[in-house]
Amino acid sequence: MGRDDGTLAPIGGGNGVIRPSLASLHLGLIAGLGVAALATFALADTPKPRIVSLGGSVTETVVALGAGDLLVGRDSTSNYPESVLALPDVGYIRALSPEGVLSLTPDLILSEEGAGPVEAVAVLQAGGIPFVTMPGSFSAQGVLDKITSVAAALNLEAEGAALADKTAAGFAKAATRADAVTAPQSVLFVISLQGGRVMAGGEGSSAAGIIALAGGVNAVSGFEGYKQITDEAVIAAAPDVILMMDRGGDLALSAEDVQATPALAATPAAKAGRIIRMDGMLLLGFGPRTPNAALALNAALYGG
């Protein structure tokens, strides 16, 4: 999982949370330019290239750059904006069928990090279709690098610079709100409950990234990514707030599910009814809307 690379400066207040300065964000854009440039795909040689996008944040970025009409397929995590739902769905980004992707005869495949399985990606790469993987750090800088890299792959550098500037300004606004926090809230992100066990977001996860951008503190540490944790660990974390995705289907979690899980019910968050649900792709996608997600989560945590 991606992490901040040290180019971001800590804010005051003594809580140790890392915040981006606007200057550091723009410096990072320069580094991001080289990522997609490594795959020299001459879009100019194709009047209207056919693009398959794998990963919701990449799809959002393509559309935000004004290139949504070039998309001919998407993965199942790509659900924003609503217009992309009309595109053929090639499956979950980590469980791809290469036949499904190749049937769309793409000229270019753009992907988030972590596409798989490895064998499927190897088949796609062996097919001679440019397969460009975007940087995936769960930070403000990571989002800006991704925007710049997608724009470079599409030969839309000017549009990418404009979108990156707009997004950087949003992150600066979110950082100002986060800087104003004097008593950071401890937040436990629960992605699922399996057999009554809590699966939470640990260090380096997208959940940890958005919590930090919103001015909160991740309630759990000592492990990377998403992992089931013991009831004792949940109770010891003593979160002020429980954060979950707002989604439908069998994986949906509700406030009632929290109260019915003894370890969660014993936390200060559950006792105070401080349970926040947000759209999963907005919250964890780390695309151009991430500043909006940070601001919304900050408002839910601290008011305003």
For residue 2, what pLDDT is reported? 36
Cα separation, 277 vs 268, in Å, equals 17
Beta-bridge mates of residue 108:
51
Instruction: Note the pTM of the prediction, 2 decimals.
Output: 0.86
Q: Three-class SS of residue 80?
A: coil
Asked if 196 and 229 touch (Cβ cutoff 8 Å), the reply is no
pLDDT(13) > 50:
no
pLDDT in tens, 75-118: 999 999 999 999 999 999 999 999 999 999 999 999 999 999 99
For residue 195, what pLDDT is reported? 82
State the virtual CA torsion across 38, 124, 81, 207 in degrees, nearest 10.
-70
For residue 304, what pLDDT is reported? 72
Q: Three-class SS of residue 221?
A: coil
Average pLDDT on 267-276 reads: 97
pLDDT, mean over the chain:
87
Cα separation, 143 vs 182, in Å, equals 26
Domains and their CATH numbers in the chain:
9-176 (3.40.50.1980), 186-298 (3.40.50.1980)
Token pair of 41 as six digits: 């795909």
Phi, psi of 193 (to 5 degrees): -125, 115
Is the peptide bond prior to 117 cis by the omega test (within 30 degrees of 0)? Answer: yes
The residue with greater pLDDT, 125 or 167, is 167
Token pair of 91 as six digits: 């499956």
Beta-bridge mates of residue 241:
187
Q: What's the pLDDT band for 121 if we cut at 50, 70, 90?
A: very high
Cα separation, 199 vs 180, in Å, equals 31
% of residues, the chain, pLDDT over 70:
83
The radius of gyration of the chain from alpha carbons, rounded to an integer in Å, stands at: 20
For residue 214, what pLDDT is reported? 98
β-pairing, 71-74 with 51-54? parallel
In sign, the C-alpha dihedral spanning 205, 152, 294, 68 is negative
3 Cβ neighbours under 8 A, 6+ residues apart: 137, 138, 139, 203, 204
Asked if 144 and 25 touch (Cβ cutoff 8 Å), the reply is yes
Q: What's the pLDDT band for 14 if we cut at 50, 70, 90?
A: very low
Q: CA 79, 83, 189: angle at the middle one, nearest 5? A: 20
The residue with greater pLDDT, 291 or 253, is 291
For residue 74, what pLDDT is reported? 98
pLDDT(54) > 80:
yes
For residue 290, what pLDDT is reported? 98
Q: Please tell me the least confidently modeled range out of 11-15, 50-54, 215-219, 253-257.
A: 11-15
Q: What's the pLDDT band for 232 if we cut at 50, 70, 90?
A: very high
Q: CA 213, 219, 221: angle at the middle one, nearest 5? A: 95
**Residue 228: half-sphere exposure toward Cβ, Cα within 13 Å:** 6
